[in-house]
Structure 1
């Protein structure tokens, strides 16, 4: 016999009154959220950017960063390698806390060190757009930034006494500064806790910190490319091939490729006009190492119609020629020089001139964030050196393809811009600019860096970890 259910019935969750009440609440919440997030003022207050990279600044003396700018501007004559340019300021007041970076193109192209540090020196209330958060407690830091203007230090020495640059002598003030930085940093608690692996050095000039590279090899290096950084470890090499790389000081696993500072002004897509020339190049014909390819390309192309090959330097006249040449040509040639890349690539991007990259070993900034194939043409060296091949290849691109390249280029132009438009660089940065992309790239390295630190700690005393890097 079935038992009779005498319990009080429970209202169904899908009953009409309950369902109506639920729908009313959902609609009310939806309308509230709509007005909340559609109000720009409310968005600004509620959507503050998240900081993902915590940066501690090593306490180096001012003489190793902004003080070097004071030295530069107080010199009556600076660089004999560059003709005088009336548009470049060579003397400014020396009492500025944050002097401007030199307009001298030999130095300006390496100014990343200045803009990255300026972001960290900007007061917190103005740094809401920065991906990095400055911390003053070492224990909270993800990385330790070393505020040494290594490029400016090297260029000061090259401009005043180039003959002693590679020598460890008293006359080499750059070497003295390198040793001062290393002596200070390596004796710090921060270095000892990680072996320097979480330290960040900005080394945009290929010869920056030349004498201490082996000592800073474990650190995170911000470099424009890897040209000149690889070296042969003869003790560990059993190979008879002289150019076989067995030992490296740089690696895509830990280091960050950053852009040169462009020297030419940005051309907006709306300002672009019809381009009459096919291909443009301006620079030195004779280079070393990978730059030998440049000489061969020059001889192949210099007499071709629709192609301009100019030898020159970025002084006042050279800048005007480059602006005109890049803005009136469909393509801009980018062959390797002494190193695989140069600021010429970023000048081309700002000029909406499609880069033609002939450099088999090039490493490019922000790859993974930027797809260069969407606005650049990559050509193998062997193909480029075939007679008549390159000209025919470039002529095969349709107007539609070239226009698409330029549209894509216009979209990424801000990514390669360091200058934030504020005096001394002190002020909010462009959230889509070069500095933030550098911080994001450093952040990507953290898991590998932390793993390396842990591996270092568990090694028995006297056992070293090789610096070899097996990566492409």
Structure 2
């Protein structure tokens, strides 16, 4: 970790210094060392160990079927972002050992891996909540905390932010109460999906491509720009028969009944684990359907963008009101929106809508999607991109700006708590 003791007008890190708390290993590294007790939440993989290799990227994948480029591809799991982000943060160019210089304090707590220990069976709430409670007690005892009472602290979750907002003590209810602890409410959390509280902020799910240099991104963009797409649209995913209000069943039926659609069933085998499989699907299609699943968002959104496939959304909470730092405000430039107000009454006419776009409109949208690729990938921490900002860079810059706005309120004599952790029930609606 670098350590700078003076700031000057020419200091390129001025306003960008970050201090990383050296947490006791039980809050992070012990999960890696004991990964066999962690579960991803399905019966397809017995534990998370293979996915935690290579900085959290997972097992490296060869370009065996021509769907990938020649390097930097991994079986990256949707739940490993906190590990990936921590490894990138350890190589961040503006780290400091002197917390008095820091504009932000990073807390490398692996909250998602913690909660994955309690995926199955009824667990005592005290046990589910214990590590989060211990963490805030540890943090609040440090001198760094008292500087802004935690409002300059942030952490990252590889699971959706709702997982830490259990409102009731019921052993059958999923999740912890971590984000409702008073100290935790003073921190900001970056997560793959935000909750309706203002201090939870969404950043992209990790994709399987983790380039080590700009040329790899440029080569990949050129490859998918020239890709021949033989299918109009695809749905890649699994049905949700247990959810009464899920639209996936209707979308699957519509896809299977259309000669223009290609369906990849993620409930079968390892179809959606190996990027050779799902990237080949996405690259062969013009549009990729992205309905909500167990929650608003999906890793598939970013995998399909990586493949140059134009995303089709059915709920604003799937992307438009989530990834405000990473995706364009003008949603029509890179995506299609088909609002579904009542799933039971909905009669899908997706094929007709997508056939209505001209070739010129499709090419323009695809080019915008391709331009987004650097913004939604997490680069290899062992090197540094020179031309592009990746998802990590954008997230860090966004957090620094958020914390600086809090400082500005304090300097102006305003109460920094107003709105900081408030709930917005309309956050995911237009």
Query: Considering the TM-score relative to the shorter chain, is it more than 0.5?
Result: yes
CA distance in 2, matches of 1:142, 1:290: 46
Cα deviation for residue 259 of structure 1 reads: 0.3
| Partner residue in 2 for 1:341 | 297
CA distance in 2, matches of 1:288, 1:54: 47
CA distance in 2, matches of 1:373, 1:255: 25
Cα deviation for residue 449 of structure 1 reads: 2.0
1:169-191 CA-to-partner distances (Å, cap 9, x unmatched) read: 55x5xx33222212211222222
CA distance in 1, matches of 2:153, 2:97: 15
Cα deviation for residue 140 of structure 1 reads: 1.8
3-state DSSP of counterpart to 1:361: helix
Cα separation, partners in 2 of 1:313 and 1:145, compared to 1, 3 Å: farther
| Partner residue in 1 for 2:202 | 257
CA distance in 2, matches of 1:141, 1:58: 11
CA distance in 2, matches of 1:79, 1:218: 29
Matches within 5 A, 1:11-160: 52-72=15-35, 75=36, 81-83=42-44, 89=50, 100-103=56-59, 108-122=77-91, 127-128=92-93, 133-158=94-119
- Give the gaps of 5 or more residues in structure 2: 1-9, 61-73, 165-174, 211-216
- Give the gaps of 5 or more residues in structure 1: 1-46, 93-97, 231-249
| Partner residue in 1 for 2:148 | 194
| Partner residue in 1 for 2:213 | none
CA distance in 2, matches of 1:311, 1:400: 31
3-state DSSP of counterpart to 1:330: strand
CA distance in 2, matches of 1:458, 1:401: 47
Q: Name the stretch that deviates more: 268-277 or 393-402.
A: 268-277
1:320-356 CA-to-partner distances (Å, cap 9, x unmatched) read: 4422321111110001112211101001001111100
Cα separation, partners in 2 of 1:465 and 1:293, compared to 1, 3 Å: closer
Cα separation, partners in 2 of 1:353 and 1:189, compared to 1, 3 Å: same
Cα deviation for residue 154 of structure 1 reads: 2.0
Q: Aligned residue pairs: how many?
A: 374
Alignment check: 8 A CA contact 1:281 1:308 kept? yes
Cα deviation for residue 203 of structure 1 reads: 2.0
Higher helix share: 1
Answer yes or no: is 1:377 the counterpart of 2:336. yes
Matches within 5 A, 1:199-210: 199-206=153-160, 207-208=163-164, 210=176
| Partner residue in 2 for 1:42 | none
Cα deviation for residue 65 of structure 1 reads: 1.9
Cα separation, partners in 2 of 1:309 and 1:212, compared to 1, 3 Å: same
CA distance in 2, matches of 1:53, 1:314: 46
| Partner residue in 2 for 1:6 | none
| Partner residue in 1 for 2:314 | 358
CA distance in 1, matches of 2:309, 2:419: 45
Cα separation, partners in 2 of 1:279 and 1:48, compared to 1, 3 Å: farther
CA distance in 2, matches of 1:103, 1:314: 20
How does the TM-score come out when normalised to structure 2? 0.74
**CA RMSD for the aligned pairs?**
3.9
| Partner residue in 2 for 1:428 | 384
Cα deviation for residue 316 of structure 1 reads: 3.3
Q: Name the stretch that deviates more: 357-366 or 329-338.
A: 357-366
Tell me which structure has the larger Cα radius of gyration.
1
Cα deviation for residue 388 of structure 1 reads: 5.3
Alignment check: 8 A CA contact 1:56 1:135 kept? yes
Alignment check: 8 A CA contact 2:76 2:207 kept? no
3-state DSSP of counterpart to 1:134: coil
Which of the numbers 350, 356, 378 marks the counterpart of 1:396?
Answer: 356
Cα deviation for residue 304 of structure 1 reads: 2.1
